[in-house]
Amino acid sequence: MTRALITGGSGFIGSHLAEALLKLGWSVEVIDDLSTGGIENIIHLKSHPRFSYVLDTVMNRSVMMELVDRADIVFHLAAAVGVRLIVEQPVRTIETNIKATELTLELSARKKKPVLLISTSEVYGKSERPKFNEEDDLILGATSRARWCYAASKIIDEFLAKAYFKEKGLPTVVVRIFNTIGPRQTGQYGMVVPRFVRQALSNEPITVYGDGIGAGIH
């Protein structure tokens, strides 16, 4: 039986991934500090015989050493998410994204545990190409704009994954997520679609910032 470790597994995407892997017959262990995820996202999985969870930060080295050692594969989803969080807490954003990824890759490399790293479409920056390609040059905004610290930190994550593959032989896969929408997604940290849905269902005016194409994000 394949045993998966999901960092950030109580989040919107992580909880759905846990469900999907359990349906495939995998064993799933989740670690999450609930900073942006929620226990309600995985509460229905608590009674599953092949599911377990740890409420702790991914940056707890001793806990992560044990979890990675038990896993066959690591899905690294733990990260700072949401425009509001990124703008209001850039230090937390940078530290969470880079330090947690570095530790996860380091510990996984010791036992050659494959890692799937969740990145973001934000790394494409200001590209105006009709189709994006992983080999495209990246153009980011000025460092005075807090939003770009998120893209920059995820770019470093990708470089770290490639470096661990090249130097340590660690099997790594990077996935750049685009505009995911679905059940359990929250608008708490600036996710626009959940906020639009909530406002529409409450017969409230739909809040649009700037020109509605990103000009209101700073």
Positions marked catalytic? 150
- What are the start-end ranges of the H helices in 132-218? 147-168, 192-201
Report the side by side order of strands in the sheet with 172-177. Answer: 51-55, 27-32, 3-7, 73-76, 115-120, 172-177
168's CB contacts (< 8 A; 6+ apart) are 109
Q: Which residues pair with 31 in a beta bridge?
A: 7, 54
Instruction: State how far the Cα of 8 lies from the Cα of 204, in Å rounded to an integer.
Output: 32
Instruction: State how far the Cα of 209 lies from the Cα of 207, in Å rounded to an integer.
Output: 7
